[in-house]
Amino acid sequence: MLPLIILDNGHGNNTPGKCSPLWPDGTQLLEWQWTRDIASDVAERLVLLGYDARLLVTEKRDLPLTVRIRRAREWVYEHRQRGGIAAQRILVSIHTNASTLTPPADTAPSSLQMPSGWEAFIHGSDANSLELGRELYLKAAELLPRRFPIRTRSGNARSGAPLCPKRAEFYLLAYAPCVAVLTENLFMDNADDCRYLLSDEGRQTITKLHVQAIHNYMTKRL
């Protein structure tokens, strides 16, 4: 039975907000589009590595969380019925972060210390979710340029904090029928983070980070 990897790309083209500022060079990141691009690339590569990798949302519009969970439950049920094991069923939800800071109108965003960096969340204390989270942190710390903080539960891993995922009560994580982690891939409202997210290098690195971390997690459970 192939391991089941469910990739969720948060939000849809009808979700309000969820985009970067329009930068002076005319570029803008739309979270729904960016996360769909990354999730499809990750899924494609995982299929090539022999996994049953699926996109939870193939629609462009936003799919309510309850519907996403129902879909995930059906796939997990099917996997279990066919003899698949629990540790080999995972859900990774891919997002870009945004801070709650709003720069005053007369302040250049570049002069403000806007939050920056990579982080990931789990719900509760499931050992496999914790391990998958750790693999993702490990790859983020290894592959992302050093200027981006790696925001762990107890501080920045660049300054020595252990690579441990944060905890959150997000609906998708709380109701996921399997091992689950949500990644927040840099801050789209930080000019430097956003430029990196929109670059080829950034897209490739973040795709690679997910593929390698998931593969490392799975190879320890085959």
| Residue 187: closest CA among 95, 97, 93 | 97
Q: Which is nearer to Zn ion, 65 or 138 (CB)?
A: 65
User: Judging by DSSP bridges, how do beta strands 179-187 and 118-122 pair with one another?
Assistant: antiparallel
Pick the closer one to Zn ion by CB: 95 or 151: 95
Number of residue whose CB is nearest Zn ion: 95
Which residue, among 205, 166, 159, has the nearest Cα to 182 in the 3D structure?
A: 166
Q: Which is nearer to Zn ion, 96 or 152 (CB)?
A: 96
Q: Which residues bind Zn ion (CB under 5 A)?
A: 10, 95
Of residues 148 and 187, the one with the C-beta less far from Zn ion = 187
Closest to Zn ion by CB, 7 or 218 = 7
- For 151, phi then psi, to 5°, come to -85, 100
Nearest-approach distance from CB 183 to Zn ion, in angstroms: 10
Report, in Å, the least distance between residue 133 CB and Zn ion.
Answer: 17
> Is the Cα dihedral 31, 144, 221, 155 positive or negative?
negative
In the complex, least distance from residue 19 CB atom to Zn ion, rounded to whole angstroms: 10
Q: 107 to each of 100, 103, 110, 117, 152, how far by Cα in Å?
A: 16, 6, 8, 22, 30
C-beta of 79: minimal distance to Zn ion in Å?
26
Phi, psi dihedrals of residue 181, rounded to the nearest 5°: -140, 145
Query: Which structure tokens are listed for 100?
Result: 């709650």
E strands, 23-147, are 52-55, 89-97, 118-122
Q: Which is nearer to Zn ion, 161 or 198 (CB)?
A: 198
Q: What phi, psi does 9 have (nearest 5°)?
A: -110, 105
CB of 215 to Zn ion, least distance (A): 24
Query: Min. distance of Cβ 185 from Zn ion in angstroms?
Result: 10
